Structure 1
Amino acid sequence: MSSYTDFPHDAPRRRRPRRTAKALTAVAVVAAIAAGGAYAAGLGPFEDEAGPDPEAVAEARAFLADWAAGRLPDAAARTTGPDRAEEVLRSFTAGLDIEKPKLTAGKPEEAEDGTVTVPFTARMPVKGLGTWTYASKLPLREQNDGAWKVDWKLSLVHPRLSDTEKFRLEREETEPVEATDRDGATLSGTTHASLAPVLAQLAGGGDGGGPRGAVQLVDRATGKVERTEASFGGEDTLKDDGPVRTTLDADWQSAAERALAEADGKNAALVALRIDDGEILAVANSPASGFNRAVSGTYAPGSTWKIVTSGALLLKGAVAPDDVVDCPKYLTVGKRFQNVETSEHPGATFRKDFTESCNTAFISLRGKLDEGELGEVAKKYFGVGQTWHVGVPSYDGSVPVPRNATEKAASMIGQGRVQANPLIMASVTATAVSGTFHQPSLVDGTEDTTATTPLPPEVATQLRELMRATVTEGTARVLADLPGDIGAKTGTAEVSDEQDNNGWMVAHRGDVAVACVVEEGVTGGGSAGPVIRSLLSAVPES
């Protein structure tokens, strides 16, 4: 299978001399964080007024931040050719299956004609294959009105992109590997339908198997391959080495696939993993074929994220479970936030706010955390946003620094630009109750480049107690009559005005943590709750 990037030609544009450089002014250079990775904008203070205009550099960084975050109309508007720029950027990322680029600015340079050039490094994750890394440059030119814009050229996207050459993605279709569960039982897409996309992605524990492909530079007119820009995958050694032993458990996998029948035909996904080492026991998707949304999906986690928010507040001593934190129906922070079904709990304690999932109470505590503190806690203690090596391609979460007060309020309740999936939220749950992050893994021997700090024991204890109370007296009562010391958290995540909310639930029992999302499930307790209940009812406590 191959896909092409069809780019329009650049039109010539009149150039003009740079106007007299403005005196150095205070320009805020902020860190912009994209949904799939962080883009660090800070290059440090300028040493003197002889360097490039800081406004030009700020505009270059803003362009890169918008491009990385997928805000292509905004990125294009920062160029001298917005219509062409938006079309090319969209064609480039879609045509090459690029997901969430990471774009890092280098040291700016100023030419004698007054133009400014900002070099950057592009790390382009090609879906299901790997990351294509290259260097390019942004030319900037001051306009008649004194504003700086990116001087649009095809070559700024990639130095070899031109009127005569473009890029093509070639994928080599591979057969799913033979695999067994942790006890040696055979696993296949026939015996476990949800594993079909997982086994197709399985990287063989880092031994060079799995999907293969290449990004090629081709002649626009003839399609002739001029050169290979990036290659992914290696020789398929898995067939000779026999079945790949995974961390999966056939009983948990079967139970997970049956449990998704409770989602009433809606798109849904579930992950179960061991708390003490992160080994994945089950990965299930509905529909079973196609996109592995359980591991690679990007969703707002909704109120399940309040586990991380609570952890951040408890770490700081900003709140205690018995503190009174009022829960009104509404709270306005740029926009009006409300609770599910506009519920309210006057005079509620923080424990009650957690167990009843009170949005307004959590948002009212936003001032207790610094602007980027929630993301820092997520990364430092929960591993979210670091690079995970699971054994198959995965999305590892994003918690951007809020751009304004409204976005900060939304991030407190797992909305805004906070992104996760069932794998991430199962791991978050495991970390919360054990106090220690373990990188999730699907096969033995995966590389672990993460670095985290254990939660203080008292914080982990408080989080366990809050999750247990959510089952016994809160929104996760659907699990209350099951055996075992179960803790859980529900979540309802807004998607858009045109779609019903996604429903979430995370839970833990014994040494297992689970997470489930049901797209357009309306509420977590009503949609994901029955799925988790079915799963835990079908397997013994470990």
Structure 2
Amino acid sequence: MHARVLRAALAIGLVTPMLTGCFEEPSPHEAVRDFLVGWQTGDYADAAQRVDGDPATVRGALQSFEVQLDAASIRFSMKGIQRNGDDARAEFHAQVDLGENNPLWEYDGALPLHLVDGVWKVRWSPSIIHPDLHAGQRLAVATVPEGRKPILDNQGNPLQEETKLYVAGVYPAKVKDPGRLCDQLSKITGFAQDRLLSRILSSPPRDFVPLATFGGTKYASIQAKLAVIKDLEIQPDTPPVAPKSPVQIVGRVAAITPEAEQQLGGPQRAGDTVGRDGLQKAYQDQLTGSTETRVVILDTKTSDQVKELKAWPGRKNDSVRTTIDSRVQKAGDGAVAGSRPTALVAVNATTGEILAVSTNQLNQEKDALAGKYPPGTTFSIIASDALLENGLTPSQKVPCSADRTVGGARFVQPGLLSPATPTFSGDFAQGCVTALASLARRVDGRALADSATEFGIGGDWGLPLKTFTGSVPEATTDAAVARLIAGTSVQVSPLSMALVAAAVDSGTWRPPVLVTSPSTPDASAEAPPAAPMPPKVLDPAMVGTLRTLMRWGVTKGTAKSAAARGGPVHGVASEVTQVVKKKRTNLSWFVGWQGDVAVAVLSHSADATTSAGIAGDFFSYLQRQTQAQTQT
């Protein structure tokens, strides 16, 4: 059953008892009942039998009411009947569902009746349809859609560029055969023929009515077919929807397909755009708002508006403002450019705001924000918090050996380093996995998990996009604890480690922020985010020690290339092997900061210095941009 017929059937099933309850007297009640029920259910012939006018005229007028409003359903309820001899007047209340989640239009009407040869009849005139409708006039639904609003960076600059789209539509007054036009367009686009037709017939004749929108590639493939459709017009449009960097965070926009039109509902109509992913999808309703809708009376000859019967302003659309700093984003993109799959996330250490998400051969959302990777010995930042809390000192001697077994778990230090500084500080700086793993008996798994929680691992962040906050497995044996300290059993995302660096830099762990306006994503979002964790002030003494350790990482450890390329930096680097479905991938990490910009870099490399060098390039590019900006 067609959706519109089904809705009408359900509506009359609810309303008929109310109508029949008023008709205990044989007439004029029966005439009112039969007329309204016939009109409501689309049985216009039955309704016309209760009218004193030409049946064909009445049937056409009632059907035109539904068509001109593109009504999904009509419901009537009686308000009362007054009889005065051979005349009567029935008052009713109408509820018209304008369809596609448009507003419900309600108004009061009246049916004048009189006896004709002993039978009650409704006196026919256009005012039966609506009190303000007269001969030579028609109803129409005028819409005023708002263009899609942009996604902005933290300076209010759009993160999209204009792209050329092609809008297929009509001016109803110029269309000689709308049924044929819609049938041809339906076969090309897949949009339902009856929906295209009702959109044309319900619109003001002189308004351009968009029916379908195409991107350049799609339009080129069907241009010849569209060209042969008589009275169809193609108008170019250049909305700002082509995403700038970070492309996958901003998200792509596409014209609504027939499938999307059915699934989305709401304000979207064929010809509109829909966010496919990223923030464009998360904030679809925010960016598109809803269409202004007006029910109007038009002069049938001139198409001039005679009167506005009702107007709904629609929900206002607005831009989405992000924390992305285009200057920092450019530096990140430049640093990761190359042949290796790499992800870089930069955050403001004092606010938690995400400044840049740059990738090469990796996805910015799925890998940089929501990727699941072992952090290797960069996890020693968190492990050190627990170890120092349990009495370990940075100067304590902890030998770094080529091979070590802890509780049955074997650890190998690739390329054994010189034991010139066999202390915990040196081991931390060099990322010596055997030395760090050997400390398993100095701390338990619960303490490590607690420290991870202090740094936001495994909590709720409240971001509108998919993220992975990290996970720390339960560790009850020496081997399991050693794997935690070594960062081989833990899973984190580049974003989670950037926040760890930010916490050491600022002294407070803060949840990440990506969007500053609006404060929450659309209620229609697939998975509304949970409330973010509150900030956590870290122990100042502990933070001071961690800062010293991370300075050693770039002066005496494997992260030297970060300082060599980027200047004064704090950080630590490591390499680790990830095994997924028997596939081994070598990963290189750098976690650190310069000034108030904290960064995590993940690169597919067996060399721990690779990501440190990328981080150094990032800070170097950022310094140059800052200098150039200052000079201008």
Match of 2:598 among 509, 513, 522: 513
Indicate which of 130, 153, 162 corresponds to 1:181.
153
Matched, 1:293 2:378: no
**2:576–2:587 contact (8 Å) kept in structure 1:** yes
In structure 2, C-alpha distance between the alignment counterparts of 1:514 and 1:498, rounded to whole Å = 28
- Whether the 8 Å CA contact 2:511–2:534 is kept in 1: the answer is no
Give 1:501's match in structure 2, choosing from 568, 577, 586.
586
Contact 1:433-1:463 within 8 A present in 2 as well: no
The answer to whether the 8 A contact 2:345-2:601 is kept is yes
Shift of 1:191: 7.8
Match of 2:286 in 1: 237
- The alignment-based identity, stated in percent, is 31
Q: Is the Cα–Cα contact under 8 Å of residues 329 and 356 in structure 2 kept in the other structure?
A: yes
Instruction: Verify: 1:195 aligned to 2:252, yes or no.
Output: no
Residues 1:288 and 1:473: Cα distance change in structure 2 (over 3 Å): closer
Secondary structure at the residue paired with 2:419? coil
Can you list the C-alpha shifts for 1:377-407, whole angstroms capped at 9, x where unaligned? 111x211100111232211110111264323
Aligned residue for 1:388, secondary structure, equals coil
Q: How far off is 1:245 after superposition?
A: 1.0
Q: Are 1:382 and 1:452, in contact at CA under 8 Å, matched by a contact in 2?
A: no
CA contact 1:328–1:344 (8 Å) conserved in 2: no
* TM-score calculated relative to the size of structure 1: 0.57
Q: Secondary structure at the match of 2:573?
A: strand
Which residue in the other structure is 1:51 paired with? none
- 1:388–1:328 CA distance, 2 compared to 1 (3 A): same
Deviation at 1:197, TM superposition (A): 1.8
Larger radius of gyration: 2
How far apart are residue 518 of structure 1 and its match? Answer: 0.8
Q: Deviations over 1:134-153 (max 9, x none)?
A: xxxxxxxxxxxxxxxxxxxx
1:540 has 2:615 as partner:
no
The code of the aligned residue for 1:184 comes to: G
Per-residue CA deviation, residues 299-339 of structure 1 (Å, 9 max, x unaligned), is: 001111110011111223x2111111222221112132111
Matched residue type, 2:577: E
Q: Contact (CA 8 Å) 2:246, 2:356: kept in 1 or not?
A: no
CA-CA distance at 1:294 after TM superposition: 0.5
Residues 1:509 and 1:193: Cα distance change in structure 2 (over 3 Å) = same
1:342 aligns with 2:393: no
Q: Give 1:345 deviation, angstroms.
A: 2.2
* 2:389 pairs with 1:315: yes
* Contact kept in structure 2, 1:285 and 1:292, CA below 8 Å: no
Mapped pair 1:426 → 2:498: yes
Which ranges of structure 2 fall in alignment gaps of 5 or more residues?
Answer: 1-146, 162-240, 254-262, 266-280, 290-316, 521-529, 627-632
338-347 vs 437-446, greater mean Cα deviation: 338-347
Mark the CA change 1:390 to 1:489 in structure 2 (over 3 Å): closer, same or farther.
Answer: same
Q: Which residue of 2 aligns with 1:29?
A: none
CA distance in 2, matches of 1:213, 1:438: 35
> One-letter code of the match for 1:312?
A
CA distance 1:462–1:234, change in 2 (3 Å): closer
Change (3 A) 1:196 1:387: same
Alignment check: 8 A CA contact 1:327 1:346 kept: no
| 1:487 maps onto 2:573 in alignment | no
Q: State the alpha-carbon separation in 1 of the partners of residues 536 and 383 from structure 2.
A: 16
1:354, distance to aligned residue in structure 2 (A): 0.8
What corresponds to 1:331 in structure 2? Answer: 404
SS where residue 259 of structure 1 aligns?
Answer: helix
Equivalent residues of 2:343, 2:364 under 8 A apart: no
Using the alignment, how far apart are the partners of 1:322 and 1:440 within structure 2? Answer: 34
SS of residue matched to 2:572: strand
Q: 1:440 to 1:234 in 2, by over 3 A?
A: closer
Cα RMSD after superposing both structures: 2.9
Secondary structure of the structure 1 residue equivalent to 2:575: strand
Correspondence 1:250 to 2:326: yes
- The structure showing larger relative contact order (alpha-carbon pairs under 8 Å, at least 6 residues apart) is 1
Deviation at 1:184, TM superposition (A): 1.3
- Distance, in Å, in 2 between the alignment partners of 1:283 and 1:177 is 22
Partner of 1:294, secondary structure, is helix
TM-score, normalising length: structure 2: 0.49
The residue correspondences of 1:37-436 to structure 2 (distance < 5 A) are: 178-188=150-160, 194-200=245-251, 236-240=285-289, 241-261=317-337, 264-287=338-361, 292-316=366-390, 318-333=391-406, 334-343=408-417, 345=419, 348-379=422-453, 381-402=454-475, 404-416=477-489, 418-436=490-508
What is the CA–CA distance in structure 2 between the aligned matches of 1:344 and 1:505, rounded to whole Å? 21
Amino acid at match of 2:326: A
Q: In structure 2, what residue type is equivalent to 1:426?
A: A
1:213-265 C-alpha deviation (Å, 9 max, x unpaired): 89xxxxxxxxxxxxxxxxx979712224332111010011111111111xx42
Q: Is the 8 A contact 2:282 2:464 kept in 1?
A: no
The answer to which structure has the higher helix fraction is: 2
Give the distance between the partners of 2:549 and 2:451, measured in 1 at CA: 19
Deviation at 1:469, TM superposition (A): 1.3
Distance in 1 (alpha carbons) for counterparts of 2:534 and 2:506: 16
